[in-house]
Amino acid sequence: MMKAWRIWYSRKKDKTIDSLHLLAVFTAMRTQDTQYVKQIRVNSPRFKTVKGIGAGSTIAAIKKAYPDVQPVQTYESANKARRIVVYEDTKMGVAFETSNSRSKKPVCSMVVVFDPGESAAGYLDYHAGFDLMTPVAK
């Protein structure tokens, strides 16, 4: 398969690992000697898109900056305690996940960057411990 996730964690002020903030990069092999990036995922509020959107941004702000964004996938934990909704703009190659979508004002918990024209959902399931639910209608 020759695909891999590479994950880097942030550090707290005391230099210990902050496992809540990460940068994850999904790579694949183009040839035997050439890797390329297929997807980048980041949940640190320190990173923003060129339009100023990142973890902590509201869905309203996301829709204003990316008017073509649509809900495309829903994930739910087996005990239904947690739910993730993925909003995607395939033309721009960017997706936004909300981790508390049952709230009246869900906020972005992760930004996903991928090849424009493709889909963030087309790669390995990143949501360990979640059952894949029926995709949300576009």
The model's pLDDT over 74-89, given as tens digits with 9 standing for 90+, comes to 887 777 777 888 899 9
Whether the predicted model's global pTM rises above the 0.95 cut: no
Tell me, letter by letter, the H, E, C secondary structure of 7-74: EEEEECCCCCEEEEEEEEEEEEEEECCEEEEEEEEECCCCCCCCCCCCCCCEHHHHHHHCCCCEEEEE
- Predicted pLDDT at 55: 93
- Predicted pLDDT at 138: 45
83: β partners: 76, 100
Tokens of 25: 């990069």
Q: In the 8-state DSSP scheme, what is residue 100?
A: B
* pLDDT above 90: residue 58: yes
- Predicted pLDDT at 103: 64
Question: What is d(CA 96, CA 18) in angstroms, rounded to the nearest whole number?
Answer: 21
